[in-house]
Amino acid sequence: MQRLTKIKFKILTLNVDSVDDKPYKSVSRHFRCMSSTPTILEERATSSLLQVRNLTIDYVSIDGSVRVLEDVSISVDTSEVVGIVGESGSGKTTLGLSILGLLDRPPAKVRRGEIIFDGETDLLRLDDHKFEKLRGGHLSIVLQESVEALNPVYKVGFQLLEALEAASKREKKSFNRESAKREVLRLLEELCVSQPSMVLDKYPHELSGGMRKRVAIAMAILQKPKLLVLDEPTTGLDAYVQSRLLTLLRQLNREYGVAMLIVTHDLPLAATICDRIYVMYAGRILEEGEAKAVLNSPKHPYTKALVSAIPQGFVDAPPLDVPPGEPPDLKRLPKGCKFAPRCPKKTSLCEAFEPLLLGSHTGRVRCWLYSDDKNT
């Protein structure tokens, strides 16, 4: 796996009314070995495929240490789609890369926490060799910068067929190169790749950014993962291709139980496909809950500000004022609530003490406005 550069994000919007629910037959062939699963509401209390517990990470340099994640805990259940949303610098990228073992260590330093995958494996304790066997198999990622996912010295066709062959070996199935090539071509067609045969014969640098993104998505799908991590999956794609991609992802999730963790700025995307959402700010979870509840009735002032950026009519929420200011400098965080300097509802309590993340299984919020004990 190649080294990754720091990823920058853009806010994208999507008209979900245009998403087509037409099933994709070749996708079904890719996931024939996977059985259908009940809806997420039926599965919620059964098994967690991924559990991140109290993950705390610093970036260390000669100038000192910067805390980029502070006691972050998230979970992704089997067949669930979870979104991580927030501004640049909130810690989303670091969280996603840490799950896949793609953080450069150093400068990244894990201070505490664990990442449990499939009920038993702590990903933070795996050596590189064991992680490489897991990554690209049961764990797959689609990077925002798709060029990072493709080897520049091999043609696209070779890399896609290699991914499918690896999945076949893992499942102890026979592999026929000609039939595999037909499967790859069908999948590329469903991702709106024109002249897919020609694309297979090209090197990654000969493709546009949007085309490379589609190839990277196809490669991740061909690996037949249990958990698919998508980093700004719609970046660089036009509206029609975005629509087709969302249909494809929903097909994988709803019918074949592929769990997904989506890192995005695009709240309409999160509302379209996610079952639950975590809202991050300054390396912390500020709010979490079911996607519809968070987007239609946001509690934390920061979440309300994010929702206000969604085009009116997308969710049943009144227009909201975006707070002034910029995300905090992680080297100089305020003492209390990290959002307090920008919050229109801050009090002296907010400035003095940081609230806990409190709530129930239906949702939690880190805000003194929703604390039962304001004298703590």
Domain borders along the chain are 16-370
Q: How confident is the model over 179-184, as a mean pLDDT?
A: 91
Query: How far lies 121's CA from each of 46, 52, 103, 182, in Å?
Result: 18, 12, 18, 35
Whether 51 shows a pLDDT value over 90: the answer reads yes
pLDDT of the residue at 223: 84
- Structurally, at CATH architecture level, domain 16-370 sits in 3-Layer(aba) Sandwich (3.40)
pLDDT digits (tens, 9 = 90+) for 197-253: 999 999 999 998 888 888 988 888 888 889 999 988 887 778 888 888 888 888 888
Q: What residues are paired with 66 via a beta bridge?
A: 59
Dist. CA 81–CA 249, nearest whole Å: 10
Whether 372 shows a pLDDT value over 60: the answer reads yes
pLDDT of the residue at 313: 56
Whether 155 shows a pLDDT value over 90: the answer reads yes
Distance of alpha carbon 337 from the chain centroid: 25
Query: How far lies 148's CA from each of 6, 69, 90, 141, 213, in Å?
Result: 11, 24, 22, 11, 10
- Model's pTM, two decimal places? 0.79
Distance of alpha carbon 266 from the chain centroid: 11
Whether 4 shows a pLDDT value over 50: the answer reads no
pLDDT digits (tens, 9 = 90+) for 304-326: 988 887 766 555 444 444 566 78
- Choose the most confident range, by mean pLDDT, from 9-13, 244-248, 278-282: 278-282
